[in-house]
Amino acid sequence: MGYNLYITRRRNHFDDEGPSISEDEWRELVESDPELSFKTKDDIRMASWAGQCEYPDPWFAYDSKYGSIDTKNPDEPIIDKMIQMAARLNAKVQGDDLEVYRSPSDFFYEDDDDTPNDDKVQMTQSIRIPWWKRLLGLS
């Protein structure tokens, strides 16, 4: 189990319909960024990142069904790279809990409901607890 982040143009990364990042846009992004490279020449769905982070082989995956790009359990440098990539694609970085990232430590929830502000603040504070602590009830 892990926590994914997505580069998406859709309201929610899992929406079946909405604006997509095309395969051509994904290919152009990877080919124009010296820090990114496809893992294999025959399969453009997976790209490696040459940036510095806590993982030995950071990756990004393109999903043609949702027209999005994702990675699992990103650290701050990976989130920062995703924000840069999203800016180039006119997209956003959204987590599994639907938070949208401005920076690795600054995120918000897009308002589309009538949830009182106090509840939104409490939700935002609870998401700052690492996902694995929330999963294990250690928060």
The CA distance from 124 to 139, in Å, is 14
The pTM (predicted TM-score) of the whole model is 0.79
Q: What is the pLDDT of residue 114?
A: 47
What domain count does the chain have?
A: 1
**Domain that residue 21 falls in:** 4-136
Cα–Cα dist 117/113, whole Å:
11
Q: Position of tokens 């359990």?
A: 73
pLDDT digits over 39-89, tens only?
Answer: 988 888 999 999 999 999 999 999 999 999 999 999 999 999 999 999 999
Whose tokens are 């009830």? That residue is 137
pLDDT digits (tens, 9 = 90+) for 94-139: 999 999 999 998 989 987 554 455 554 444 444 455 655 566 766 5
Q: Closest Cα to residue 18, out of 77, 72, 94?
A: 94
